Structures are given as structure tokens and as C-alpha cells.
Amino acid sequence: MTSSTDGPDPVDAPIVAVTVFPDRARVTRRGTVTLAPGEHRVPYGPLPLNLLRDSVRVSGHGPATVAGVNVVTRREPVTSDAAVTALEAELREIEAAIAVLNDADTVAAARERFLGRLAMRGAGALATGEPTAAVRFADGLDEQLTAIHAARRARERERLDLHRRREAAERRLMDLRGSTRPDRLVAEVLLEVDGDGEIELELSYVVPGASWSSGYDLRLAGDNLTLTWHGMITQRTGEDWPECALKLSTARPSGALEVPELDPWYVDVERPIVYAAAAMAMSAPPPPAPGAAPMQTMMPKARAAVRDTSASVEEGPVAATYTPLKPVAVPADGTTHRTLIARFDLAARLDHITAPVRAEEATLRATVLNTSGHTLPGGAAALFHEGDFVGSTRLEPWAPQEERELALGVDDRVRVERELVRRTASKATLGSSRRTDAEYKITVANHSPRPVSVTVLDQLPVSRDAQITVKELSAKPEPAERSDLGVYTWKLALAPNATQEIHFALRVESAKGVDISGWRD
């Protein structure tokens, strides 16, 4: 980067478009100049200090050709170049450190969701096994979740310290410059003007310190689910964004991409380790030369019509770009600003599900098909039922025509009760086994004014030793499903104010001298 202390004033080029990515943003400015034929150096700015210089691009309309672009820093003569350069480098390092913390938070959130799914899948199987195995499984999950939360708190403290350092560095930078107009970056565009006429230039660049995520409101009314999709935008890029052509993209721009390839996998006799740092350094790609001008777009000499991109979603090979229904101004203060992306109605199939062996309550469940045509990114979702807030959940990425189950809270109008109605145990005698019989009754009552479908889950223990056998003695009504892990599923259809009972009995036999662990009533 070069520096400049004089030259013409920068062209007035306000921000006209912003595309926000998950970890950065592309900003477009537009300005108009009228120049005589010949070669001209036109400055555009001021620009953010932390922009990615290789991302600067220029295009436009008019009788001119872009011969080059040079990103320079304009400083007052009284300013200490060395001190300012050091502070600018410190600010870039702070932004990079904040980006690393944000990436770590993203990974931690993904791992926490994975552990949650693992707990749901493993709980059913472990409930039929030994209590010690279930306790070890739960303890392992607790340890990992505790470590995730502790690391997140540590990162938040580190992020707060980084924000304080950045604010202090920015104040020192202002003091060093000693001017009410802070020194900023400008892009000097070298133009070769062919004839008289107005020249419109668009300057675009990428800046870190910006991000967006999805947020949802899910409102159930009758059998209709209204999904409201919001884009949650935040940025600390150093410049405020006005209301403009705003787009939200799921792409993750990268400075260097490679097609993955595999090297041979060798095994050999173990030998002393030889570090190959020098070889690695030689094979690394060379960094771009400082001040190198990026590739520029040649402008047509005749004005061409600008294409109108009015689609609400643009699907690419690996990402999608969404245009919110209404743009929103986003200041560079780090606060979150919400803009509406879409709202649509989805048909929901409602039923209730209960596992009274765990909790004597029925959960209202909605099975919903995504008929919107949008691939919905993952994000936090607030659930509402008939206008009442019932809780929050995490909506995983949802593809078109994909079906999802949503828990909409406990329905107190469907009452569930499970009780042990009989239990007998016989002692083992010479040459015989010890026997335990148990019978359970589940009562499901519908106190709502409409018919309901209820899925009831219960289970038989599963033996993990040949000396213990488990038998089903009876089950009325017949379960709709029996799994290999002993889970029974009943499907009940209850009219308003109707009640239905489920009875099932089991027998556990063990050899003489064998103590059973994991039994519960």
C-alpha cells in the first residue's frame, strides 16, 4: 500500500449496494465524473482501512477505459507514518483475532447441536441397559457440554478485550492524525478517456467484520403454519451502510481454493523425525506483491443498459443469495438489525406424542413439508401457538420438499397417566430361575373439543446377558410397532372427552445367583 499527501478531492461515490456473507461483506459505491479526453487519475473514497485490497474492482459506463487501480492512504503531513502504520496493522490483527473467535463459536455451536442429537438417539438405547452405562454416557455429555460452555465464555471475555483494544487503537489513531478529517484509504482509478461525456464508475470491495444469520417466527393457527424469515445483520466494518440494494448470501468467499487431491500413503520403519519447514516454505505459494494492481474490467465505450435483478433468491452451484423484501440501514456499531426476507404459509399435520415412562405429558407435534421453494438456512426459531409463545428451538437447514417435525409445547388438554398395577416376584429354588412379573396401565384422556391422534411410546427392558430373559406376557391393544430395542408404539385416535387405556405385562427371568441391574418400575 502506498501513501499520498496531496491530490484532487475524492469523487462523491455513496454506497449503493451491499452483499453480506456469513463472515464479510462486499460493498459497492457509485459515482459520476465528467472528464476531458486524455489520461486522468480519479480518486474514490474514503474507504475502510481494513478492506481486502485484492478485492477492489472497478466497472461502469462511459467513453473511457480503466487502465489500473491503486489503493493508497492519504495522510496529513503532520502525521507520524510509522505510528499510523503500526496502529493500522494492529487493527487488522484485532479484526483477524475476532474472526477466529467467531469461527470457533460457529464450530462450538455445531458440536453442541451434534451432542444434543446424540443424546436424543442414545437415551432410548441406554435406558434399557445398565444404569452405570447410562450414567457414564450422561457424564460424558455433561463434561463435553461444560467444556463447550466454558470455552464460549472464555472467548466472549477475549472478544470483549479485543473490542476494547480496537476502540483504544482507533482513538490513538485519531489523536496521531491530529485532524478533524481522519486519514482514510482511497482508490485511485487510472482512466483513459476517449471522448467527451459523463462517466459512471462502480467501485466494489470486500471488508471483514460483517455477518448475517437467519431468524424465524413459526406461528401455528389451526392446521396452518406461518413461517416468517428474517435476516439478522451485524457489522463493524468502519463505515455505516445506508438503506440500499441489500443482499444476503450463504457463500463463504475464500482467498485460495484448491481441488482436494490425495498423496500416496506410505508406511515405513520408524526413523527420527526430520522437520521439513524449509521444504514447506518452498512449496507455499508466493504472497501477492505489495501494491500490485488487481485485474480490472474494461469499460465499454458505448453506454449499455443495466440489467434488473429483481429475483428474491438466486441459486448458485454451492450457495444462494437472498434479496430482502425491504432494505435496512446498518450502522457500524456491532448491533443486530433485522430485515424481512420472506413470509409464507405451510400446511401442518398435527398430532400428539407422549412417553409417560419419562414424563406424564403429551407434546403437540407438527409435521410440516417445506413447500416454499426456498432452502432455509439454519437459525434460531421462536414458536407460537394460536398467538401464544410456547418456546424456542433451533431450525436446522431445511430443503424444499423436505419434511420436518416441530415440537409445539405440552398440551394440558391431553392427560396421560402411567401406573404399575401388578408386580410379583418369585425366589429361585434349586435348579430353577428367579422370576419377576410386572403389569402396567397407561391412561390417555382427551379433554379438548376436537378429536386428537396420540402416539404413545413405552418399552420393555432388553437383556444384555444370556442368563437374563425378557418376555412379553400381554399387550392390549396390540402395538402398532415393536422395535428391536424393546420400544413399543401405540397409535390412538381419541374423540373429544374420550379416554383409552393401554395394558401391557412382561416377565423377567434370571438364573439362580444372578442379580439384575437396571430394573425400574
| Whole-angstrom distance, CA of residue 251 vs CA of residue 400 | 19
- In this structure, is the dihedral angle defined by the CA atoms of residues 128, 130, 131 and 137, taken in order, positive or negative? negative
Cβ burial 12-48 (10 Å sphere, 16+ → b, else e): ebebebbbbbbbbbbbbbbbebebeeeebebbbbbbb
Domain boundary among 177, 203, 221: 177
Looking at 177, 209, 225, which one is the last position of a domain? 177
Cβ proximity of 141 and 119 under 8 Å: yes
125 occurs within a structural domain: yes
CA nearest neighbour of 427 among 520, 519, 510, 521: 510
Residue 239 lies in a domain: no
C-beta separation of 356 from 456 below 8 A: yes
Residue 124 belongs to a domain: yes
The answer to whether residue 325 is domain-embedded is no
In a domain, 442, yes or no: yes
Strand runs labelled E in 109-197: 185-193
Give the pLDDT of the chain (521 residues) as one tens digit per residue: 444 445 567 788 899 999 999 889 999 999 888 888 888 888 887 888 888 888 888 888 888 888 777 777 665 444 456 778 888 888 889 989 998 998 898 888 888 888 877 777 665 555 555 666 666 777 777 888 888 888 988 988 998 899 888 888 888 887 776 544 555 678 888 888 888 878 888 889 999 999 999 999 999 888 888 999 999 999 999 889 999 999 998 887 654 445 666 767 766 665 554 433 333 333 344 444 444 444 344 344 444 433 333 335 666 565 788 888 777 899 988 899 988 888 889 988 999 999 999 999 999 898 999 998 888 888 999 988 877 888 888 889 999 999 999 888 888 999 999 999 999 888 755 557 788 899 999 999 999 999 999 999 999 999 888 888 999 999 999 999 999 889 999 999 999 999 999 999 999 988 877 888 878 76
- Determine the pLDDT at residue 304: 42
Check if the beta carbon of residue 350 is closer than 8 Å to that of residue 364.
Answer: yes
Q: Among 348, 407, 408, 341, which Cα is nearest to 375's?
A: 341
Tell me the three cell numbers of residue 45. 473514497
Number of helices and strands in the chain (H, E): 3, 25
Instruction: State if pTM tops 0.75.
Output: no
Q: 426: closest CA among 418, 416, 437? A: 437
Cα 472 to Cα 35, 457, 479, 486, 518, distances in angstroms: 92, 16, 12, 10, 18
Instruction: Tell me what percent of the chain is helix, strand and coil, each rounded to the nearest 5.
Output: 20, 45, 40
Q: How many CB atoms lie within 10 A of CB 198?
A: 12
Q: Could you tell me if residue 89 is inside a domain? A: yes
Strand partners, 195: none
Query: Within a domain: residue 477?
Result: yes
- In the chain, how many domains are there? 2
CB 75 within 8 A of CB 81: yes
Tell me what pLDDT residue 131 has.
Answer: 61
Judge whether 299 lies within some domain. Answer: no
Instruction: Indicate if the alpha-carbon torsion angle 182, 183, 187, 193 is positive or negative.
Output: positive
CA-to-CA separations, 265 to 258, 262, 272, in angstroms, rounded? 20, 8, 19
Domain that holds residue 134: 81-177
Q: What is the pLDDT of residues 430-489, one digit of tens each?
A: 557 788 899 999 999 999 999 999 999 999 999 888 888 999 999 999 999 999 889 999
Edge-to-edge strands, sheet with 15-20: 52-61, 198-208, 24-34, 15-20, 245-249, 320-322, 313-315
Q: φ, ψ for residue 149 (rounded to 5)?
A: -70, -40
Last residue of a domain, one of 177, 193, 221: 177
| Cell digits of residue 491 | 397409535
The CATH number of whichever domain residue 420 belongs to comes to 2.60.40
